[in-house]
Amino acid sequence: MSGRRQFLKTLAGAAGGALLPAGAWCSESRVRPATLPAGTVDSAVMAALPGKQALIKRTYRPPNYETPLAEFQVFYTPNDRFFVRYHLSAIPEVDLAQWQLKIGGDAVAKPMAFTLAELRRNFEVIELPALCLCAGNRRGLFQPHSPGIQWGQGAMGNALWQGVRLRDVLARASLAKDALEVTFEGADSGVFPSTPDFSKSLPLAKALDENTLIAFAMNGEPLPHWNGFPARLVVPGWAASYWLKHLTGINVVSRPLDSFWMKSAYRLPKGLFVTDARFPSQETDTTAAITELLVNSLIVSPEEGQGFRPGQPIEVKGMAWDGGQGIERVDVSTDGGATWQAATMEPDRGRFTWRPWSYLVRTARTGDVTVKVRATNRAGQVQASEPVANPAGYHHNAVQSVTVHVG
């Protein structure tokens, strides 16, 4: 079957068997968040994938859809508004009756396979709130532009994940002493056989972390097709590129995974960003595989350009997160960063989820007011004041600002 037809078939499968009605792709209105540099998102439109509400479409093939900023007003991102990111275009609808998760590799003694029912039955099922954040989130804000999907703020989402610990499952397969990495494969593939499958690996220690899950539900529902049905990896605190969707195979191996997606993509110049987590078996002299998320924050409201009356309080609200140390504080500046005041923090709901904050700006003067927001984590790491340029536009964690009008 041609790649094109295969793609249409797999998409149609996701819609429940029927071929996509043309109209499904036509309910598009233009969006241009004022916070993106002109030019980057001119081609972005709102569009709905089957089973999803309208999201900001960055590319259709493969599907890359971003969550609109307003959705981050709630703590858990609704499943039908959760962003979608794929590298490859052939995305089959997985038939649960046929699905098995195979555990193997040269560093396991007992290869085995599990159905979803067996995973649920044989292992402790746990729930964990965690932020799923694409390393390329905000790539569209880099100036000069970085090549790649021009994401705005919405290549992320926070969910309550339910699943079993990867380490419990791997323990059944008996790991050999020389186990080095754990590799992951998904059901999606390229349209051409020459396209390398999306495969990723984790260092053994992160794979065996008690928080690393094989998840089959999010926010109390089975995973949506576009977010990895029937099971995906959840790697709390680490970039979402490791959160492999539509899991089919997990291998424990004694050698570093030599896949395009480890060796060429999702890499950073060594030493450019300070993180606690390392992936030694994927380091070269000059570059390292991306690992954990940097301390960061987001302003959800007010909207850019929103109007206020003189004296009317401006409630600034948003979220802050990091790679798992936990958020210590969020500070707000209304004088261009000269002075900072502490925002009010909502309770901490876990190391790997975001933390809501708010701050009331009171100003009697008229004109534009620019509010800057800066998060600090418990390790004392602070958001960057300017984006740190890197070849593929990852880890944008510069202080965000919003300008409103009083008058």
Ligand X SMILES: Nc1nc2c(c(=O)[nH]1)N[C@H]1C(S)=C(S)[C@@H](COP(=O)(O)O)O[C@H]1N2
Q: Which positions touch Mo ion (CB under 5 A)?
A: 85, 134, 240-241
Q: If we measure between CA atoms, which residue out of 363, 386, 356, 361 comes closest to residue 371? A: 361
Minimum distance from residue 187 beta carbon to ligand X (Å): 7
Q: Which is closer to ligand X, CB of 248 or CB of 287? A: 248
Interface with ligand X in residues 47-66 (CB under 6 A)? none
Closest residue to ligand X: CB criterion: 186
Which stretch of DSSP H or E encloses residue 206? helix 204-207
Residue 186 as a binder of ligand X (CB under 6 A): the answer is yes
CB of 6 to Mo ion, least distance (A): 23
Nearer residue to ligand X within complex by CB, 158 or 334:
158
- 84 touches ligand X by CB under 6 A: yes
Task: Specify whether the CB–CB gap between 161 and 238 falls below 8 A.
Answer: no
Minimum distance of ligand X from residue 7's CB (angstroms): 14
Shortest CB 252 distance to ligand X, Å:
19
> Residue 89 binds which entry of ligand X, Mo ion, none, with Cβ cut-offs from 5 to 8 Å by kind?
none
Place of tokens 């925002």: 343
d(CA 80, CA 128): 19
Tokens coding 16: 């429940």
Which among ligand X, Mo ion, none contacts residue 245 (Cβ within 5 to 8 A by kind)? ligand X
# residues near ligand X by CB under 6 A = 20
Residue 206's binding partner out of ligand X, Mo ion, none, with CB under 5 to 8 Å set by partner kind = none
Among 134, 166, 399, 402, binds ligand X (CB under 6 A): 134
Question: Count of CB atoms within 10 A of residue 14's CB?
Answer: 21
Q: Residue 198 binds which one of ligand X, Mo ion, none, with CB within 5 to 8 A depending on kind?
A: ligand X
**Number of Cβ within a 10 Å radius of residue 228:** 24
Q: Cβ closer to ligand X: 200 or 372?
A: 200
Residues 6 or more apart whose CB falls under 8 angstroms from that of 106 comprise 176, 251, 252, 253, 254, 255
Least distance between ligand X and beta carbon 405 (Å): 34
Asked if 184 and 201 count as a contact pair (C-beta separation under 8 A), the reply is: yes
Alpha carbon 7 to chain centroid distance? 24
Instruction: Tokens for 227, please give them.
Output: 């977010």
Q: Which of 11, 47, 131, 132 binds ligand X (CB under 6 A)?
A: 132
Residue 225: CB minimum distance to ligand X, A: 10
Task: Quote the CA–CA distance of 403 and 363 in Å, as a whole number.
Answer: 13
What's the closest the beta carbon of residue 67 comes to ligand X, in angstroms?
9
**85 touches ligand X by CB under 6 A:** yes
Residues 256-295 that bind ligand X (CB under 6 A): none
Report the nearest approach of Mo ion to the CB of residue 266 (Å): 8
Q: 133: burial class by Cβ within 10 Å (0-12, 13-18, 19+)?
A: buried
Residue 227 touches ligand X, criterion: CB under 6 A: yes
Q: How many CB atoms lie within 10 A of CB 309?
A: 8
Rounded to whole angstroms, the Cα distance separating 360 from 163 reads 39
Sheet hosting strand 344-345, strand order edge to edge? 296-301, 314-321, 355-361, 344-345
Residue number with the smallest Cβ distance to Mo ion: 134
Asked whether 352 and 380 are in contact (CB, 8 A), the reply is no
Q: Could you list the residues that contact ligand X (CB under 6 A)?
A: 82-88, 132, 134, 186, 188, 198, 227-228, 240-241, 243-246
